[in-house]
Structure 1
Amino acid sequence: MSENFFNKPFRFNAIFSGTGLQPTDLGKSISNHIELIIFTRYGEHRYRNDFGCEIWDLDFELIVSESLWEEKFRKSLLKSISDYEFRIDNIAVEVRITEVENVYPLRKITEIKKKVDITVRALIKTTGEKYFFNTALFLSPLST
């Protein structure tokens, strides 16, 4: 496996000007790859139909039970990370959904969004270091 890791997004103007791509460390490279897994829908990758996660299918699903939704998404994400991120081991994924309310008094609008907090804990195989990743996504907004 290559020891060179590059930051995303790629700045192609840097390549054409001769300065090359911006390097990054192993932890940031793993985080970039996990973000790519989260933001890719199943079937979107031309050669690997199972690359990605189920959040794009679950986004518009009526959430009857938040705990079932969280578990379904957690399992999907855990499988994809286990299958496609080979640099980490002992992977634990946590998913928590909450509601966030934004009130805009001047426009007399209340906006309610579902927020999904995603946490990944693991061990980096080559160094044995603990790895931690955390992000949040907002699902379909509901406005009144």
Structure 2
Amino acid sequence: MDFYLDKPLQLDLPVQSQRLKEADLGRSISNYLELIIFTRKGEHRFNADFGCAIWDLDFELIVSESLWEEKFRKSLLDSITRYEWRIQQVTVQVNISEVETFFPKRNVAEIKKKVMIYVEGKMVETGERYAFSTSLFLSPLSK
């Protein structure tokens, strides 16, 4: 059985003679998927290909949401199949929508693009089904 650490890493614990917080296999995979999603390609010092294209796509003018979703989905699927070897038969789904928030004190409405990310697969070690979902917001627009 492998040993996985949970995040955030609390590096003061070993100094206090305490163990770092552990994570199970599913939680460890989820942590790593978040790292892939939130890392910009070229940001990792030792591997410029690590990460995904969300940071490049964030500032791209979205002419077609379906094309944008597919471009991001392919980038994410490529990174997951390349760097997260603990899951196989991976499928990725990306859905973009608009979310409007109104701030009455300022009389301002903010429109943001919300991206929902769904990842499914099978854990290699146990054969169990694995599912992950998260969401993030792209640059806000105001009106």
Class of the TM-score when normalised by the shorter of the 2 chains: over 0.9
How many angstroms apart in 1 are the aligned matches of 2:33 and 2:45? 18
1:29 aligned partner, one-letter code: S
Which residue of structure 2 aligns with residue 3 of structure 1? 2
Secondary structure at 1:40 match in 2: coil
Q: Aligned-pair distance for 1:5? A: 0.5
Identity over aligned residues, as a percent? 59
Does residue 43 of structure 2 align to residue 44 of structure 1?
yes
1:55 corresponds in structure 2 to 54
Alpha-carbon shift at residue 47 of structure 1 (Å): 1.2
Quote the residue 1:121 is aligned against: 120
How far 1:106 moved relative to its partner?
2.2
- Structure 1 distance, partners of 2:136, 2:41, is 18
Q: For 2:39 and 2:118, how far apart are their aligned partners in 1? A: 17
* Distance (whole Å) between structure 2 residues aligned to residue 61 and residue 36 of structure 1: 22
Instruction: Tell me by how many angstroms 1:104 deviates.
Output: 1.2
The residue number in structure 1 matching 2:102 is 103
Partner of 2:78: 79
Counterpart position of 2:66: 67
* SS of residue in 2 equivalent to 1:80: helix
Corresponding residue for residue 135 of structure 2: 136
Structure-1 separation of matches of 2:35 and 2:125: 22
Deviation beyond 3 Å, 4+ runs, structure 1: none
Distance across 2 between alignment mates of 1:15 and 1:57: 38
Deviations 1:34-55 (CA, angstroms, capped at 9, x unpaired) = 0000000001111111100000
Q: Which residue of structure 2 lines up, in the alignment, with residue 94 of structure 1?
A: 93
Q: Give TM-score scaled by structure 1 length.
A: 0.97
Flag structure 1 segments of 5+ consecutive residues without an equivalent: none
The AA in structure 2 aligned to 1:59 is D
- Paired with 1:115 and 1:37, the residues of 2 have a C-alpha distance of 18
SS at match of 2:115: strand
Q: Deviations over 1:15-42 (max 9, x none)?
A: 2111021011000000000000000000
Number of residue pairs matched? 143
